[in-house]
Amino acid sequence: GMIGIVVADENGSATMPSTMLSSELKAWDVIGRSVAVYAAADGDTTGAVCAVLARSAGVGANHKKLCQCDGTIIWEAGEDFLPRAVDERDAAGPLLGKGITTARRG
């Protein structure tokens, strides 16, 4: 669905206004999701641009944790994901064999 209208400046730069975010739609809800920007407000897809939004971090400030099951990046793990010891001889997946050992606390 449509979440709002963005107006670009004369250089073609546009910023998502904070008014698009609400109690139902948080910034973290759109990170990692695809977003399409149309050239016209009437929904005409001529000149549409699509992108996947990613968060920005400083050099060395974007430490990632990977899910053991499929290797996807866990963006905001907090205390839900804690390191655990894994015997590599018993590792079932390709990531475990490389020493990546993040487990969900449950």
Q: Does 43 lie in the same domain as 71?
A: no
Query: Based on the domain organization, do 1 and 45 belong to the same domain?
Result: yes
Nearest residue to 93 via CA among 76, 72, 66, 69: 69
Taking phi over 0 as left and psi of -120 to 50 as alpha, with beta for the rest, 27 belongs to: alpha
User: pTM of this prediction?
Assistant: 0.33
Percent of the chain at pLDDT above 70?
Answer: 36
- Flag whether 60 is in a domain: no
- Give me the pLDDT at residue 106, please: 42
The pLDDT value given to residue 5? 72
User: 104 and 81 in contact (C-beta within 8 Å)?
Assistant: yes
Nearest to 103 by CA among 62, 79, 63, 90: 79
Same domain membership, residue 35 and residue 9: yes
Name residues of the chain where pLDDT drops below 70.
1, 16-23, 39-47, 55-65, 71-106
Q: Domain span at residue 100? A: 65-104
